[in-house]
Chains A and B, each alone.
Chain A
């Protein structure tokens, strides 16, 4: 089945220790998104790639970076995680034809100690 995959599902890191979350998709969608979702809150868009074009939300902290080496993979790098970065991180994709509809992965829950 075509899908959006996120690894790992749970990630524990230490305060200030860089961490990378990964997302892959078999849908061949050209748009990929990263959202941050804190407990009992709505998902908040961090940034998205339209093909190789990177689009950062104005209020996304510099601590968050992203890489998209090819169509299938997208990575979220947190350079120096703080306690406030503990959250669920959701990856989503959409296609060029139906850009308005986003398909989500299962998420990675990040814990910062």
Chain B
């Protein structure tokens, strides 16, 4: 079965600085990869997804992620963060079925 590891539980960063949130997965088959964002007391909002094709995926709010099959990674990046980006970010993997597995989450805190 697939699994996801988010390497950093918390990432503090100053406003307008770049940020990278790391995600590694394990699976024996081809996978779909996702990043979701969760604001306090809210549901999960889809930021971006990789299904196939170009390994660089652009999402909402200026985020992008790169699928690296050889390193089994799907790191999320943003060149310049805002205070409003403060939230919990979840990486998830699906093996083309209804079984989506989430990482433990990374709390991004953007400081002024």
Which residues of chain A have a CB within 8 Å of any CB of chain B?
A: 4, 6, 9, 31, 33, 40-43, 45, 48, 50, 55, 88, 90, 92, 94, 99-107, 109
- Could you tell me the distance in whole angstroms from the C-beta of A3 to the nearest C-beta in chain B? 10
Does chain A have a CB within 8 A of B73?
no
A–B complex contacts, Cβ < 8 Å, 28 sampled: A9-B41, A31-B98, A33-B98, A41-B104, A42-B90, A42-B102, A42-B104, A43-B44, A43-B90, A43-B102, A45-B100, A48-B98, A55-B98, A88-B41, A99-B97, A99-B98, A100-B32, A100-B97, A100-B100, A101-B32, A101-B46, A101-B49, A104-B36, A104-B45, A105-B43, A106-B42, A107-B42, A107-B43
Q: Hey, which chain A residues are within 8 Å of B42, CB to CB?
A: 106-107
Residue of B nearest to A40 (CB): B105
A109 touching B41, Cβ below 8 Å: yes
Does chain A have a CB within 8 A of B51?
yes
Sample of 11 further A-B pairs with CB below 8 A, known A43-B90, A90-B43, A101-B46 = A31-B98, A40-B105, A41-B104, A42-B90, A42-B104, A88-B41, A94-B98, A100-B94, A100-B96, A104-B36, A104-B43
B44 touching A104, Cβ below 8 Å: yes
CB within 8 A of A90: which of B44, B49, B96, B97? B44
Q: In the assembly, what is the distance between CA of A102 and CA of B104, in Å?
A: 18
* 3 interchain residue pairs of minimum CB distance: A42-B102, A104-B43, A104-B44
- Could you tell me the distance in whole angstroms from the C-beta of B38 to the nearest C-beta in chain A? 9
- Could you tell me the distance in whole angstroms from the C-beta of A30 to the nearest C-beta in chain B? 11
Q: Hey, which chain B residues are within 8 Å of A55, CB to CB?
A: 98
A42 touching B105, Cβ below 8 Å: yes
Residue of B nearest to A49 (CB): B98
Residue of B nearest to A102 (CB): B100
Residue of B nearest to A88 (CB): B41
Does chain A have a CB within 8 A of B35?
no
Residue of B nearest to A99 (CB): B98
B43 touching A101, Cβ below 8 Å: no
Q: Hey, which chain B residues are within 8 Å of A88, CB to CB?
A: 41
